[in-house]
Chain A
Amino acid sequence: RKEVEQDPGPFNVPEGATVAFNCTYSNSASQSFFWYRQDCRKEPKLLMSVYSSGNEDGRFTAQLNRASQYISLLIRDSKLSDSATYLCVVNPSGAGSYQLTFGKGTKLSVIP
């Protein structure tokens, strides 16, 4: 099983739609989780951290399910500007480790 696995997509959704991405991770000791966004020909940028209790930032909601070892990202009311690749990122080694493992990303295209 790959350390961090995502559906590569692409997800093609109309403006205003709600879209959800899931990501699974293999190391049950993982402690920290993030969603990054990467625009075409740009560097990855932090979208949001994922907390055990779940967290929301405007139209974006992230959830963590430790029992099933998956993370989700929900985008409501999609905008054209949301078109990007969304990377699931996990600290696979737990406490004391700095390294992050990046998923291959899920490509989202929001269509007018």
Chain B
Amino acid sequence: SAVISQKPSRDICQRGTSLTIQCQVDSQVTMMFWYRQQPGQSLTLIATANQGSEATYESGFVIDKFPISRPNLTFSTLTVSNMSPEDSSIYLCSGQRGYQETQYFGPGTRLLVL
């Protein structure tokens, strides 16, 4: 398994500001992903964080709004830019070692935008 931590665990932000969420894995993983989950809803994949190259975004998500970095095989950041109340959600990162293997999740970052 992999142990994944996220910072911050929660935050309350003003609209128009940006928040960067950090994700740290205790061992190297091939793939890292960023998800969003509204209360009571399923996980929505935002993007795949690629080590050393630009992230791959899912339909409906763009780099200008959700810039992602992944400088190495154990760390990634997601920035939620120019926030609005609609961005209030739980943001989760995950890591996966190999294809057909499972993903391990961080504890999530609860974001409230006022």
Contacts and interface: CB of A to CB of B under 8 A. Distances in A.
B41 interface: yes
Q: Is the interface of A mostly helix, strand, loop or mixed?
A: loop
Nearest to B99: A98
Nearest to B45: A99
Interface residues of A, number: 22
Contacts of A46: 1, 102, 104
Contacts, number: 45
Interface stretch (B61-69, B77-85, B105-113): B105-113
B24 interface: no
Interface of B: 1, 30-31, 33, 41-43, 45, 48, 92, 96, 99-108
A96 B101 CA distance: 11
- 10 residue pairs, one from A and one from B, having the closest CB atoms: A43-B105, A104-B42, A32-B100, A98-B31, A102-B43, A46-B102, A98-B99, A43-B108, A43-B107, A44-B105
Given A34-B102, A43-B106, A46-B104, A98 B42 contact: no
29 contacts: A31-B100, A32-B100, A34-B102, A42-B107, A42-B108, A43-B108, A44-B92, A44-B105, A45-B105, A46-B104, A49-B102, A87-B42, A89-B102, A91-B99, A95-B99, A98-B30, A98-B31, A98-B48, A98-B96, A98-B99, A99-B33, A99-B45, A100-B96, A100-B102, A100-B103, A102-B43, A103-B42, A104-B41, A104-B42
